[in-house]
Structure 1
Amino acid sequence: MYLTDTKEVTAEVTVIDPAKLAELVGTQNEYLTIIEESLSVVINPFGSVLKISGQEEMVAEATAILENLATLINKDITINSSDVVSAVNMAKNGTLDYFLDLYSQVLIKDVKGRAVRVKTFGQRQYVNAIKHNDITFGIGPAGTGKTFLAVVMAISALKKGLVEKIVLTRPAVEAGESLGFLPGDLKDKVDPYLRPIYDALNAIFGVEHTERLIERNVIEIAPLAYMRGRTLDNAFVILDEAQNTTNAQMKMFLTRLGFGSKMIVNGDISQIDLPNKAKSGLVEAQHILQNLDQIEFVEFTAQDVVRHPVVARVINAYENFGK
């Protein structure tokens, strides 16, 4: 057995505008730390130059990542840690050439006027699927942006007048805790489980505007059981935590689709909380609906996680342990 060459090299990245170096390195060199820890390199800023040291292949990847991020900054696009994580993941997957393409389209502006864009190749596939299909399934781990992007696409459709209302729902399955012990009526009991949806709405509309739209029933947030017997026309309907639906519930939900409507079904099949080992309606739907027109399944992986890099490692560790 022969050892591969682990040649140590040093490379440099020059930032065109030295005044923008702080945007590239992040607060207390936060962005550089993400790259260093992910690729086992050392990055040192010197004036408007970044010096990168480490194994040749890793230095080449780090250099390409920093050059891509510098290109965004020089186009006056503000980056954050999730952009850096996305660039690192795409470099590891060999898809970094498509990184700048992710920033060619703004989905919507948030309540603070910041542009909302897709962050990963998987997210771009997801958004394209939503645009071109009546029903889109987003399946994958937490942190991949499924819920947030679904809400973004729903709000965008509402603002463009493509739909008249947004309906957001999830099954009221108790993940190790009993709803009965929570205070208040049914809405009070279920609302904490819908927190990610509220957070996404508040990020785009703001808290006050979101509350007004809910009061006017332009946005409806309800447990899945409330969907029975209805037909939802001219609506953008999102089912979250769909791994916790039964087969009957999934069929009931999907058959609510009316004219002029779109549906998004999101879930993580590694986090099924159904009692008595009941079969997940989301898992069954993957087999039953796979080849139907106007229905598309998009699968996310740990490489699409845009949270702290450790989150992706945790997901991979649990998946490997399960295997």
Structure 2
Amino acid sequence: MTDNFKFKKELTLKNPNDEAALFGVQDAFLDILEQGMATSIRHSGGKITVEGDDEKAVQNTIDILNGMLELIHSGITLNSSDFVSAMKMAEKGTLGFLPELYNQVLLKDNKGKPVRVKNFGQRQYVQSIKHNDVTFGIGPAGTGKTYLAVVMAVAALKKGDVDKIVLTRPAVEAGESLGFLPGDLKEKVDPYLRPLYDALNSTLGSDHSERLMDRGVIEIAPLAYMRGRTLDNSFVILDEAQNTTNAQMKMFLTRLGFGSKMIVNGDVSQIDLNGRVRSGLVTAPKILRDIDDISFVNFSADDVVRHPVVAKIINAYEKNDNGE
């Protein structure tokens, strides 16, 4: 960037001490905002200067900073994903709803930090989970599907709404041919279940998670182990559902018992099945769309809460796949 920008706006902080909370350690949040908005941001002594060649981008940057200050003053500690979400809301003209998203705390994680939704897609997902027996979360990686599903499961367990959490995903491929892999069952399936462990440990902490697994309160298993069971009073999550066949999807969904909830997550752009095999996640919306208490939430690149470049990568591949 050069110093010869067309547009410039300034913001003066009422409390100069807000600078550290607003821009993060070593200005990490500032860097994200500059890159995402294509603006230049300078700050010193409580005075912030935003410059750029696009007037709307400069104004949006100021609006984002004001929105973040409002969150700080309400006691919220910011992180990188907050800025990613705010930039997308600014682009859509919905930034004014930002404080509303932070009103509800879903849970406090193992470090005591409040877990909140980051965008409207996540809010719709959480509301769907609350109000439906079965929720499908369909969309790209980085949208928070797995993490939020586990958060909602742990919250339900803590409130006594369920007695057990069951986390599952297809191991290897649709056939789940684990016999071809070396080692005992745990060694075979753990690499494929790792994302579920990670989400669980982030929410509960590894020690607490281990204790609950030892007691059978939390179960993590490959999808094949769901066959023949009825899961009552349980919160059941199927991850990587794009790699299930129609038969496997039907088998899983019919495990639903009384007092239970099910979440089915997946990304239909990441199907690893043999080309001749239809994904159960692709056909499920067509088969189940008219059934009450089953909801489908579709995420897009706009809902990605990882580094801003991730959303751009997803969009670029989608355009390539669509022949654009």
TM-score band (shorter)?
over 0.9
Deviation at 1:97, TM superposition (A): 1.6
- 8 Å Cα contact 1:187/1:222 also seen in 2: no
Give the structure 1 partner of residue 168 of structure 2.
Answer: 169
SS at match of 1:18: coil
Give the structure 2 partner of residue 85 of structure 1.
Answer: 84
Identify which of 27, 32, 35 aligns with 2:33. 35
Letter in structure 2 aligned against 1:34: I
Q: Distance in 1 between matches of 2:31 and 2:64?
A: 13
Check if 1:199 corresponds to 2:175. Answer: no
Letter in structure 1 aligned against 2:213: I
Deviation at 1:187, TM superposition (A): 2.2
Q: Distance in 1 between matches of 2:68 and 2:259?
A: 40
Superposition RMSD in Å: 1.6
- 8 Å Cα contact 1:173/1:274 also seen in 2: no
Q: Distance in 2 between matches of 1:169 and 1:97?
A: 38
- 8 Å Cα contact 1:166/1:236 also seen in 2: yes
Deviation at 1:207, TM superposition (A): 0.7
SS at match of 1:209: helix
Deviation at 1:179, TM superposition (A): 5.5
Deviation at 1:92, TM superposition (A): 1.1
Q: Distance in 2 between matches of 1:123 and 1:196?
A: 19
Deviation at 1:14, TM superposition (A): 2.3
Check if 1:226 corresponds to 2:225. Answer: yes
- 8 Å Cα contact 1:173/1:273 also seen in 2: no
Residues 129-170 of structure 1: per-residue CA shift (max 9 Å, x gap) = 000000000000001000000000000000000000000001
SS at match of 2:42: strand
Give the structure 2 partner of residue 63 of structure 1.
Answer: 62
Deviation at 1:183, TM superposition (A): 3.9
Residues 180-201 of structure 1: per-residue CA shift (max 9 Å, x gap) = 6654212221111111111111
Residue 160 and residue 119 in structure 1: after superposition, are their counterparts in 2 closer, same or farther (change >3 A)?
same
Aligned residues: 316
Give the structure 2 partner of residue 132 of structure 1.
Answer: 131
Give the structure 2 partner of residue 318 of structure 1.
Answer: 317
Give the structure 1 partner of residue 280 of structure 2.
Answer: 281
Deviation at 1:30, TM superposition (A): 1.5
Residues 261-320 of structure 1: per-residue CA shift (max 9 Å, x gap) = 000000000000012431000000011111221011001111111111111111111001
Give the 5 Å matches for 1:127-276. Answer: 127-174=126-173, 182-276=181-275
SS at match of 2:316: helix
Letter in structure 2 aligned against 1:207: S
Letter in structure 1 aligned against 2:6: E
Residue 13 and residue 234 in structure 1: after superposition, are their counterparts in 2 closer, same or farther (change >3 A)?
same
Give the structure 2 partner of residue 290 of structure 1.
Answer: 289
Q: Distance in 1 between matches of 2:290 and 2:30?
A: 44
Q: Distance in 2 between matches of 1:75 and 1:110?
A: 19
Q: Distance in 2 between matches of 1:272 and 1:188?
A: 24
Give the structure 2 partner of residue 76 of structure 1.
Answer: 75
Give the structure 1 partner of residue 11 of structure 2.
Answer: 13
Residues 86-120 of structure 1: per-residue CA shift (max 9 Å, x gap) = 10111112221211111100000011111010111
Unpaired runs of at least 5, structure 2? none
Unpaired runs of at least 5, structure 1? 1-6
Q: Distance in 1 between matches of 2:203 and 2:47?
A: 37
Letter in structure 1 aligned against 2:27: N
TM-score by length of 2: 0.94
Give the structure 2 partner of residue 4 of structure 1.
Answer: none
Q: Distance in 2 between matches of 1:90 and 1:300?
A: 15
- 8 Å Cα contact 2:173/2:243 also seen in 1: no
Letter in structure 2 aligned against 1:258: G
